[in-house]
Structure 1
Amino acid sequence: MAMYKFFCLCLFAVAANADLTAKVPQQVHISLVGSEHMRVSWITEDSDAPSLVEYGTSSRQYTSSATGESTSYSYFLYKSGKIHHTVIGPLVANTVYYYRCGGIGAEYNFKTPPSNFPISFAIVGDPGQTNYTKSTLEHVKKMEHDVFLLPGDLSYADTNQPLWDTFGELVEPLASRRPWMITEGNHEIETIPIIMNHAFRAYNARWRMPYEQSGSSSNLYYSFDIAGVHVLMLGSYINFVKDSEQYKWLQGDLERVDRGRTQWVIALLHAPWYNTNTAHQGEGEEMRKAMEELLYAAHVDLVFAGHVHAYERFTRVYDNKADACGPIHITIGDGGNREGLASKFKTPKSELSLFREASYGHGELQIFNATHAYWSWHRNQDDEPVISDSIWVESLSSSTNCSCTSQQVSVSMGHANSINGQCRAL
């Protein structure tokens, strides 16, 4: 009888422990929601686990809490865990917060971005989950960045859904401490011709972005303001032609940009509009033809892209010509991916391309004030990150070569008209 009771107690303990483990948060990551809120996302195996986040400014002293929503999805025989999304706030800028998900498990912490300059962005494209990815993330971890920007191709799951889970585990140490703001790439589409046409199912369920706050109807494109920066996250793989929802949204979004409040405007998308690598030639051309005029009229400062697994920086450009009022285009699709580097560039070298190299790496955009920023690309297959390319950038809102007589630019006619005058090259 004693042995039987002991056996029953052991079974009960195992079951209780399994139940507890199923509730433990996994794959924790955070993202911005407006200027004073943060979305905390995580996954549990237990479908009954609460979408609760407790938080405060002192470790283990949670003075506030919020309950959010949850979702899940199926993909053939794969069934995701319960995916939680909870918005917390209002939060104080430039402040460390401690938090716990679901009322159980480890404590995490994050630092909110500053409300004013300076602000620093880590930018990584096409990370995947290789040893090169791990090196990139380790180098980024050493940076004092405020926000992580990712222009598409996250997990390289490509319909193999468990790879989304391993990617979530891989990036959690960084993504739980700084907001990750992302847009989709081609590897997020995950459709199977004839059999399945549920594009972006895993991406949309797992990586919820604040698209509603910018008036977007899709998680695949949106914008947000942070400090003095307006960030556009555009969708290369959702309709972008002139009568599309994305085009009309972008047009309206840029009309509302106030360069007196957000002196910098940057954009991220996946397929580059300018590219001298032999890989993926012309794949961003149709989007460029449709949308470049809007970005040029609004004096967007920089455009970051992924897709091509190499690094390349262009001069200020518009319509395939050097233009002092155009944005600087930078391809940074070299985060780690499993497909290897795109090592072949076209020759002779275009005069528009100022620096190009097929190496794994990451970028840092440090915006110091309303007029000047410093961009650096860090080559990272060495033991330590090496700055292989860097440049000082002057905001087009203050540039002596290209200025605007009004703080707010209207792009409704596809060219730069201001309320009190014209925005033009001088």
Structure 2
Amino acid sequence: MEPRLILTVALLISATVTADYIRPLPRKTLQFPWDPKPSSYPQQVHISLAGEQHMRISWITDDKSSPSIVEYGTSPGRYDTAAQGESTFYNYMLYRSGKIHHTVIGPLEHNTVYFYRCGGQGLELQFKTPPSQFPITFAVAGDLGQTGWTKSTLDHIDQCKYDVHLLPGDLSYADYLQHRWDTFGNLVQPLASGRPWMVTQGNHEKESILLLKDGFASYNARWKMPFEESGSSSNLYYSFEVAGVHIIMLGSYADYDEHSDQYRWLKDDLSKVDRRRTPWLLVLFHVPWYNSNKAHQGEGNKMMAAMEPLLYAASVDIVLAGHVHAYERVKRVNNGKSDPCGAVHITIGDGGNSEGLAHKYMNPQPEWSVFREASFGHGELKIVNSTHAFWSWHRNDDDEPVKSDQIWITSLVSSECIAQNRHELRKILMAP
């Protein structure tokens, strides 16, 4: 065989063996045909946890006189309990929202299917409450938007047997076009009405207009989270507990320095965490602190400088972020380098946004970066018991059972880190 031919064959074999994953092309923004419904018909229904054994049901009606009532029970068509809630609306330039209803129901039984109806109108819906103890599974997807890839992500999540959806910012990508909030609400209703969606804000939720409109008006009105229940003064940051897990949702776009309300609230919240009752401690926010993608480099540095010492002292197990439209999993880290007592950081801002994937990475790959790939997908976090959890990431163009990245994570509660950091945590919490 000629030397040139041998070289050509060898290169082809090498390319076949080591070929990188081929990134998918972007998909178009979804189109939503006009679907007229009675003005009192509940639309954009989604649910969220609202304190111990309670659920907040949120929906919108065009009829401003529709009642904010939810009827519910454990048998189809039989509603033996009803709850009255509150309502709001907002104006945004020439846009006026429908009537936005928020009704808290409960107390509810754990791990139970409930059937419910909003405002005495529309279809009967159902949801399942999370379990009271391990195991519990979270679906995770950020930066969703309203594209063909969004639909693919939602279809894959629908195949996952999960209890709660965690979304680290950038929901609708309405970007000032307020009707896009409405189409997003209807797009996610099939999933968001059946399992609690716990969300925090991203940059695309801000929508502020200098001297005319404050930021996050649409987001705060539509996606009310349990901030009051967790002692927070802002819907942009809050916490909740579920089945042995304490989860803190922070605001990348709220003040976060040591003199801010958010920082003071975070210290107070962490002071109440009991790792015997909730051995797992998770944190979500939008802008990642550890990111080897060229997109959004350094944007989380100031928040990291202010808050990482506190999270490290509290022995946070896992940090989930979005913003970068790609996937990356990082080792346990602290202060810019691997640390066995630091948190596992995961960037999962690849839910399906219209801006496309961030496919340019820094080289060489930092020592703390384990796996990175620019693809659309979602994550699943199954916390099996007080010490072990299984994380998996699923590309949209694979079958949902295919795990493109996976790892077992051991909680810091089973290590010496909590005892080692206890003095530092106490010192930070007591600081004025």
CA contact (8 A) 1:410 1:416 kept: no
Residue deviations 1:308-337 (CA, integer Å, cap 9, x gap): 000000000000011000000000000000
Is 1:404 equivalent to 2:418 in the alignment?
yes
| Structure 1 stretch displaced more, 160-169 or 408-417 | 408-417
User: Following the alignment from structure 1 to structure 2, what is the Cα–Cα distance between the partners of residues 41 and 410?
Assistant: 41
Q: TM-score, normalised by structure 2?
A: 0.89
* Distance (Å, rounded) in 2 between the aligned partners of 1:189 and 1:20: 30
Aligned mates of 1:383, 1:149 — CA distance in 2: 21
Percent identity between matched residues is 62
Whole-Å separation in 2 of the counterparts to 1:251 and 1:296: 12
Partner of 1:422: none
The equivalent of 1:393 in structure 2 is 409
Structure-to-structure mapping, 1:189-338, within 5 angstroms = 189-194=206-211, 196-338=212-354
Q: Matches of 1:409 and 1:163 in 2, distance apart?
A: 49
CA displacement at 1:20 relative to structure 2: 8.0
Match for residue 54 of structure 1 among 55, 71, 78: 71
Separation (CA, whole Å) in 1 of partners of 2:36 and 2:363: 61
Instruction: Measure how far apart 1:409 and its partner are.
Output: 8.0
Matched, 1:127 2:141: no
1:386 CA displacement: 3.0
Matching residue's letter, 2:301: E
* Aligned position for 2:376: 360
Equivalent residue for 2:360, pick from 338, 344, 357: 344
8 Å CA contact retained: 1:260, 1:407? no
Write the mapping of 1:59-138 to structure 2, written as runs, cut at 5 A: 59-138=76-155
1:170-220, CA deviations, whole angstroms, 9 ceiling, x for partnerless residues? 0000000000000000000001234x2310000000000000111100000
Counterparts of 1:174 and 1:19, CA distance in 2: 22
Contact 1:97 1:110 in 2 (8 A): yes
Q: Distance in 2 between matches of 1:384 and 1:146?
A: 17
Whether the 8 Å contact between 2:390 and 2:408 is mirrored in structure 1 is yes
Structure 1 residues 161, 325: CA separation in 2 closer, same or farther (over 3 Å shift)?
same
**1:377 maps to 2:402:** no
Q: How far 1:87 moved relative to its partner? A: 0.3
CA 1:297–1:134 in structure 2 vs 1: closer, same or farther (change >3 Å)?
same
Task: Give the secondary-structure state (helix, strand or coil) at the position aligned to 1:202.
Answer: helix
Q: Which of 173, 185, 188 is residue 202 of structure 2 equivalent to? A: 185
State how far apart, in whole Å, the 1-side matches of 2:370 and 2:421 are. Answer: 31
- Per the TM alignment, residue 147 of structure 1 is displaced from its structure 2 partner at its CA by 0.2
CA distance 1:76–1:117, shift in 2 (3 Å): same
Q: Give the SS at the match of 1:138.
A: helix
Distance of 2:213 and 2:260 partners within structure 1: 20
Alpha-carbon distance in 2 for matches of 1:262, 1:285: 29
| Structure 1 position 23 matched with structure 2 position 40 | yes
The Cα shift of 1:104 comes to 1.1
Question: What's the TM-score, normalizing by structure 1?
Answer: 0.90
SS state of the match for residue 414, structure 1?
Answer: helix
Letter in 2 for 1:304: L
SS at match of 1:171: helix
1:158 is aligned to 175
Distance of aligned partners of 1:403 and 1:319 in 2 relative to their CA distance in 1, 3 Å threshold: closer
Separation in 1, partners of 2:36, 2:337: 62
Distance change >3 Å, CA 405–CA 382, structure 1 → 2: closer
Tell me how far apart the structure 1 counterparts of residues 37 and 390 of structure 2 sit (CA, whole Å).
47
Q: Which amino acid aligns with 1:40?
A: I
Instruction: Give the 3-state SS of the residue equivalent to 1:214 in structure 2.
Output: coil
**Aligned residue identity for 1:160:** L
In structure 2, distance between residues paired with 1:146 and 1:49: 30
How much does 1:410 deviate? 7.6
- Give the 3-state SS of the residue equivalent to 2:187 in structure 1: helix
Task: Write the letter of the residue equivalent to 1:413.
Answer: K
Query: Which secondary structure does the structure 2 equivalent of 1:172 belong to?
Result: helix
**Partner AA of 2:269 in structure 1:** D
In structure 2, the residue matched to 1:414 is 428
Quote the offset at 1:377 in angstroms: 0.5
Deviations 1:254-297 (A, max 9, x none): 11110000000000000000100000000000000000011100
Number of corresponding residues: 397
Pair 1:173-2:190 in alignment: yes
Local SS of the residue matching 1:354: strand
Measured at CA, do residues 410 and 51 of structure 1 come closer, stay the same or move farther in structure 2, by a change above 3 Å? farther
Tell me how far 1:146 sits from its aligned partner.
0.2
Cα contact 2:200–2:237 (8 A) shared by 1: yes
- SS of the aligned residue for 1:54 comes to strand
Report the secondary structure of 1:156's partner residue: coil
1:27-38 map, 5 Å: 27-38=44-55
Residues 255, 409 of structure 1: alpha-carbon distance in 2 compared, 3 angstrom cutoff: farther
Unaligned runs of 5+ in 1: 1-17, 418-426
Contact 1:259 1:407 in 2 (8 A): no
Give the RMSD, CA atoms, in angstroms.
1.9
Contact 1:297 1:416 in 2 (8 A): no
CA distance in 2, matches of 1:405, 1:383: 42
Structure 1 residue 71, shift from structure 2 partner = 0.2
